Amino acid sequence: MKIAIMTDLEGPAGVNGRSDGIGNRIVNTPTACQMLVEEINACVRGLLRGGADEIVVWDGHGGSDSIDASKLLPPAQLGTIGGGLVPCVFVDASFDAKVCIGFHAMEGVADGYLNHSFDSHHVCGMWINGEPIGEIGIGAYEAAYFGVPTILVTGDRAACREAKAFLPDVETVCTKRALSRYTVVNRHPEDVRRKIEETAAHALGKLGEFKVRAIPAELEFKVRYMCPNIADSYEKAGWERLDPLTVATRGTDFIDVYSRRLGWAAGVHNRRFGITPGWRG
Ligand SMILES: [Zn+2]
């Protein structure tokens, strides 16, 4: 079985973050990266026990510089993300399952540690067909587009709650409990790693039971930005201006619609990479 692990840096136990005025800043980066790789390795051990034979770990945070490949447990392979001409999806139809390690809640969740939606300095909310969505939901739809179930999400309590609301049968492992965006009680990292290993093995062992989240046939993707000038640039690129801060784009193909947030014109992303629901990258 071939498994994709998408990672983020806000969610592991022991990551210490602050506000830089609006957005988030991790203040113990070397420790945070060590905490992340240990949680990934716990997941890799569990997935191997559950029957995985190929694992691709994507370094999903910021500039894709959080994971030292030499610290990853074999046979996990490391994917790093960079440049303008990359697909906006990191799973395809050749994968059997997707796992999210180190995740956080969407922007605006009061008890979401370091909460944000992709960009803590610009985005104040995202919706698909009126339903609020963050990185967990977008990632689950991306995998669902290729028929791949998301079987495990780890992160703070608010991230786990968000994952369960979006994917009722997903397994979760809670790493910490936030009292506010920057105040948190961390579970002991060793307890978290043990739980991640167990849960990853268990989840993969019952892979056939996971449902792939259905994607609506008609999609409206709405984003609210923190300043009107950011919304201006999306209006210029063809998005509908709903109010000074909010823009929307519509379509029937989730990956095509979502890629427009990253600057791709309608139709171009999927044509460039040959992406269809059965795409194998
Ligand atoms: Zn993130």
Model pLDDT, residue 213? 97
Q: Rounded to the nearest whole angstrom, what is the distance from the C-alpha of residue 78 to the centroid of ligand 1?
A: 18
- Using a CB cutoff of 5 Å, list residues around ligand 1, an ion: 8, 135
Region of 164 (left: φ > 0; alpha: ψ -120 to 50; beta: rest) is alpha
Q: pLDDT tens for residues 56-109?
A: 999 999 989 999 999 999 999 999 999 888 899 999 999 999 999 999 999 999
Model pLDDT, residue 194? 98
| DSSP category for residue 212 | P
Question: Is residue 32 within 8 Å of residue 26, measured between CB atoms?
Answer: yes
Q: Rounded to the nearest whole angstrom, what is the distance from the C-alpha of residue 51 to the centroid of ligand 1?
A: 28
Model pLDDT, residue 20? 95
Q: Is the peptide bond before 75 cis (omega within 30 degrees of 0)?
A: yes
Q: Rounded to the nearest whole angstrom, what is the distance from the C-alpha of residue 104 to the centroid of ligand 1?
A: 6
Q: Rounded to the nearest whole angstrom, what is the distance from the C-alpha of residue 60 to the centroid of ligand 1?
A: 8
Which stretches of the chain score pLDDT less than 70?
Answer: none
| DSSP category for residue 189 | H
Model pLDDT, residue 86? 87
- pTM, two decimals, is 0.97
| 3 state DSSP class of 247 | strand
* Alpha carbon distance 235, 89 (integer Å): 24
Give the contacts of 224 (CB within 8 A, at least 6 positions apart). Answer: 123, 124, 125, 126, 245, 246
Sheet with 97-103, edge to edge strand ranges: 77-79, 54-58, 2-7, 97-103, 150-155, 171-174
Question: Is residue 75 within 8 Å of residue 23, measured between CB atoms?
Answer: no
Model pLDDT, residue 61? 96
Q: Rounded to the nearest whole angstrom, what is the distance from the C-alpha of residue 118 to the centroid of ligand 1?
A: 5
Q: Rounded to the nearest whole angstrom, what is the distance from the C-alpha of residue 46 to the centroid of ligand 1?
A: 24
Q: Rounded to the nearest whole angstrom, what is the distance from the C-alpha of residue 181 to the centroid of ligand 1?
A: 14
Burial of 274 per CB tally in 10 Å (0-12, 13-18, 19+): exposed
Model pLDDT, residue 84? 84
